[in-house]
Amino acid sequence: MKIQELVSYLVENPSTLNQIVNGNASLLHVDQVTASIIVEGFQKEDVIKAIIWATAGE
Amino acid sequence: MLNYLENTKIKQNMSDFIQHAVRQNDLQKLLHEFTDIKNEFPFGQLAYQHYVAFGGQDKQAITKLAAGIELLILSADILDDIEDQDNDSYPWMKCQSGIAMNAANVLFALSFDVFSKLDHGAKLLNTVYSYSIQSMQGQHMDMTLEPENEQDCLNIMKSKAGSLFVLPCVLGVILATGSFEKNVEEYAYYLGMAEQLENDYLGLFNKENIDFKRMQTLPLVYLKNEFNPASSDLLSYFQSKDKSISSEELKDKLKKSGAQQYVFIMRNLLRNKFKEAFKKLHLEASKKKKLILFLIGDGEDENSGIG
């Protein structure tokens, strides 16, 4: 499966993402864990948090 | 977790090693300048946390190891900045590159001396050698190849950055036990790559330091597909000298292109592989919990199923 193509498709077709979230559609050849990570990638606003281990000594 | 005092001790050890090994005054002064800017020691901390998790108790020994690791990482950082011609404000970018390169070589050699004098020195040295060579090969690939696809990019990330993340983790374990732990290597590669991906994404926002020819990172590989107009706009932006776009606008474009979501997904897939590999670690549950909290404990869902 090509994640890049999948992401670009979902960017252009947000309704498909909604259908996946609602359980009316699924991603072919994608396991459950990967599918939930993909959905989360579109639902969370902030992608990158601080690098935890780099600041742990503060 | 290392407290302020322990960080201070790592820094003091780094300074002492330089003081004892380097007699040429000007070079010694320069090396102190380079090390003085460091107040955080994330790679030393990785070694420290693994050492403690695997039963190590000699604080002096682990502090020396952590200091040696930080010297080695600093030498790699200096060389990386020079090789990439990064336009940053670090002291090694303000002196002649030949002088800075020589100083970096001293730090690299010095770290080997530190490792050789610790318990299990031969094993530590062998391990450092192996991951250093791997990282240098990754650096070479990064400088000479243009990754054509996701897998090319992941391979370079694994060699260049992943190996330097694995190094302190496995060294901490070797110092504590005398043994190499394959499981640690496996999960550390994944986490190191996830961290590198975050850095690469954050690097897109660094207006001072964008060299498109050198930006062969995963988000760029995604954008180069030009799946949509936003991707094409971003490619033009990164290639142009005009960096007047605000961070918010840039973030918005990255989201419209899908690059933001792609990075998030790839980073979490790597973190998920990290968690799966971490589960296989043979350690007491309390030690595993403490270690994973240090590695990725950020209030997300990291503790589920680990133990």
Q: What is the pLDDT of residue B86?
A: 77
pLDDT in tens, B160-193: 999 999 999 999 999 999 999 999 999 999 999 9
Q: What is the pLDDT of residue B203?
A: 84
Q: How far apart are CA B54 and CA B47, in angstroms?
A: 11
| Neighbouring C-beta atoms of residue B12, cutoff 10 Å | 12
Domain count, chain A: 1
pLDDT in tens, A27-38: 888 888 999 999
From the number of C-beta atoms within 10 Å of its C-beta (0-12, 13-18, 19+), residue B299 rates as exposed
CA atoms within 13 A on the CB side of A36: 3
Mean pLDDT for chain A?
A: 78
CB B108 within 8 A of CB B72: yes
Of residues B171, B77, B182, the one with CA closest to residue B128: B171
pLDDT for B209 beyond 70: no
Residues of A within 8 A of B188 (CB-CB) are none
The count of residues in chain B is: 307
Instruction: Tell me the whole-structure pTM to 2 decimals.
Output: 0.90
pLDDT for B227 beyond 90: yes
CATH 1.10.600.10 matches B1-180: yes
Share of chain B above pLDDT 70, in %: 92
Q: What is the pLDDT of residue B2?
A: 60
Does the distance separating the beta carbons of A44 and B222 come in below 8 Å?
A: no
Each domain of chain B, given as residue ranges in start order, spans: 1-180, 181-281
pLDDT for A54 beyond 60: no
Residues of B within 8 A of A33 (CB-CB) are 272
pLDDT in tens, B44-66: 999 999 999 999 999 999 999 99
Residues of B within 8 A of A4 (CB-CB) are 150, 221-222, 225, 227, 262
Share of chain B above pLDDT 90, in %: 77
Q: What is the pLDDT of residue A55?
A: 35
pLDDT for B33 beyond 90: yes
Does the distance separating the beta carbons of A4 and B42 come in below 8 Å?
A: no
pLDDT in tens, B81-102: 998 887 678 999 999 999 999 9
CB A49 within 8 A of CB A20: no
Domain with A9 in it: 3-55
User: Which residues lie below 8 Å from residue B163, measured CB to CB, with a gap of 6+?
Assistant: B131, B132, B134, B135, B138, B189, B192
Amino acid at B134: Q
pLDDT in tens, A12-27: 999 999 999 888 888 8
Among B3, B228, B297, whose Cβ lies nearest the Cβ of A11? B228
| Neighbouring C-beta atoms of residue B115, cutoff 10 Å | 26
Q: How far apart are CA A19 and CA A36, in angstroms?
A: 13
Among A47, A55, A58, whose Cβ lies nearest the Cβ of B260? A47
DSSP string covering B286-306, please?
HHHHHHHHHHH-SSSSTTTT-
pLDDT for B276 beyond 70: yes
pLDDT for B301 beyond 50: no
Q: How far apart are CA A32 and CA B289, in angstroms?
A: 25
